[in-house]
Amino acid sequence: MPGTCVVGLQWGDEAKGKIVDLLGDGFDYVVRYNGGANAGHTVVVHGKTFKLSLLPTGVIRPNVRSVIGNGVVVYPPRFIEEVGQLRAAGIDLSESLKLSDHAHVIFPYHMEEERLAESGSEGKIGTTGRGIGPCYQDKVGRRFGIRVGELLRPDHLRERLRFVVPFKNRLMKAFANGHADALVPFEPEAIADQYLGFAETLRPHVTDTSRLLHDAFKAGKRVIFEAAQGSLLDVDHGTYPYVTSSSSLPSGIWGGSGVPAKNIQRIIGVVKAYTSRVGKGPFPTELDDGPTGIGERIRKIGREYGTVTGRPRRVGWFDSVAVRYTAALAGADEITVMLLDVLSGLPELKLCTAYDIDGERTTHFPSDAFDLERCRPVYETIPGWSEDLTAARKLTDLPATARRYIDRVGELVGLPVSVVSVGPDRAQTILV
Ligand code: IMP
């Protein structure tokens, strides 16, 4: 039974969760393979809204088993909080949620390390402050990384923390650069006591999730992989260094869950009808046109504020150069266009079809952020529409101009548009 991946083709927040939700009862397992609690998503259960950042969005579906794969970095208090929130709403995950024993653990010193690095005057990325980058650094560095399975071995965990924490305290001092007096050193025993407490709550969920997934595929189960962040934030192929620290493209599935690529047959690329980005980094089609400009209007109507950090998202026109690039890397079979309703009321809309860089025109995306910084967008302007789209349920309910916009997005990206979303509700969806 082939697997499906739902992946964002921009800089994150493309409303991937709604697509997972629309796949409905069509799957048995939902898997996260990258990132951590930096991936904010809003889930509505029985009219109650939850802001999840670590558990997959598919976790709320009845009869679905959820997996947090080895490629995810886990902050145990967040895991416990999100599971508890859902339990309070009547969703019991004690049997259905599994956590890889190979996933790396985020400790308080990771967050402090990130805070100090991001508060310097140079080298800022604009991260979410969740300790994601420092934890992945420790994972690939190997000397200091601690995995979920190690939390379950008390003596071993204490020994590891006695080795790691003094080094981290020295590192913080160096980072604090003259302000070290304000730092409170971390205590290995205190962290060990706290994390051994978390471990008892985590224990029933912890398992070898790669084996679990291999067995699931063998048993013909339907598996869906939820990519976190967006493809332009992928650590290898995104706008480095303004990226996250994991492989958000479907290429991350093999490493981040242990499921070989040959098991993934359908890749659904999710895009917004425009573009958004949080944090620093180049963004050629950004609408930086002031408090009365189109950018602010889209931000307000689209509620473009980060779920994790509350930061206003940067917004801009749809960039087909960028999406063609990520669609190719992702191996997307189709795209779904989200938040089309947000563009209502604009007399004309722009679609970026190419870039000018140093006087030359290109339709290729320079994945090097420093080259992208110099790119100027080349736009095609097409007429907008004034109608409210939120009640549209089929393509013919849309004004001709909105249909033309969607057609043009599909043409420019070179992929069929399979879904158009015109509002947050499940019903506000057009299946093309
Ligand atoms: P980090 O993942 O916290 O290290 O942040 C690195 C960059 O990725 C920053 O620009 C963040 O704003 C961005 N980022 C991380 N997670 C998300 C997400 O889920 N949506 C959008 N941007 C994200």
Ligand 1 pocket by Cβ (under 6 Å)? 11-13, 38-40, 125-128, 130, 132-133, 228-229, 233, 244-245, 278-279
Identity of residue 14? E
Tell me the pTM: 0.96
Catalytic residue among 21, 41, 214, 371: 41
What's the gap in Å between 310 CA and the centre of ligand 1? 12
28 assigned to active site: no
Dist. CA 25–CA 106, nearest whole Å? 33
Query: Mutation test of ligand 1: which of 278, 283, 286, 309 has the most ligand atoms closer than 8 Å to its C-beta?
Result: 278
208 assigned to active site: no
Q: Is residue 147 helix, strand or coil?
A: strand
Q: How many residues does the chain have?
A: 432
| φ/ψ (deg, to 5) at 276 | -140, 160
| φ/ψ (deg, to 5) at 57 | -65, -30
On whether the CB atoms of residues 148 and 102 are closer than 8 A, the answer is yes
> What are the residue ranges in the chain where pLDDT is below 50?
none
What's the gap in Å between 323 CA and the centre of ligand 1? 18
Residue 385 is encoded by which pair of tokens?
Answer: 């529409």
Q: Is residue 310 helix, strand or coil?
A: coil
Identity of residue 201? T
pLDDT tens profile 218-276? 999 999 999 999 999 999 999 999 999 999 999 999 999 999 999 999 999 999 999 99
DSSP assignments along 311-354, one per residue: PBPEEE-EEHHHHHHHHHHHT-SEEEEE-GGGGTT-SEEEEEEE
On whether the CB atoms of residues 379 and 353 are closer than 8 A, the answer is yes
Predicted confidence at residue 46, as pLDDT, reads 67
What's the gap in Å between 390 CA and the centre of ligand 1? 29
Residue listed under structure tokens 């979920």 = 148
Residue listed under structure tokens 């981040």 = 256
Candidates 245, 293, 191, 271; CA nearest to 7 is 271
Dist. CA 313–CA 276, nearest whole Å? 6
Residue nearest to ligand 1 atom 1, measured at CA: 127
Q: Is residue 94 helix, strand or coil?
A: coil
Residue 133 alpha carbon, nearest atom of ligand 1: 4
Residue 213 is encoded by which pair of tokens?
Answer: 């997934």
Q: Could you tell me which residues are beta bridge partners of residue 380?
A: 351
Residue nearest to ligand 1 atom 19, measured at CA: 39
Q: Is residue 8 helix, strand or coil?
A: strand
On whether the CB atoms of residues 232 and 321 are closer than 8 A, the answer is no
Q: Is residue 34 helix, strand or coil?
A: coil
Residue 53 alpha carbon, nearest atom of ligand 1: 19
Largest interatomic CA distance in the chain: 67
Predicted confidence at residue 25, as pLDDT, reads 82
Dist. CA 12–CA 36, nearest whole Å? 14
Burial class (CB in 10 A: 0-12, 13-18, 19+), 140: exposed
On whether the CB atoms of residues 227 and 8 are closer than 8 A, the answer is yes
Dist. CA 37–CA 228, nearest whole Å? 10
Residue 114 alpha carbon, nearest atom of ligand 1: 4
Residue nearest to ligand 1 atom 16, measured at CA: 38
Q: Could you tell me which residues are beta bridge partners of residue 352?
A: 319, 379
What's the gap in Å between 125 CA and the centre of ligand 1? 9
Strands 348-357 and 360-362: antiparallel
| φ/ψ (deg, to 5) at 53 | -135, -15
Identity of residue 36? G
On whether the CB atoms of residues 169 and 128 are closer than 8 A, the answer is no
Dist. CA 326–CA 310, nearest whole Å? 26
What's the gap in Å between 356 CA and the centre of ligand 1? 27
Dist. CA 211–CA 258, nearest whole Å? 8
| Distance between start and end Cα atoms, the chain | 25
Dist. CA 82–CA 96, nearest whole Å? 14
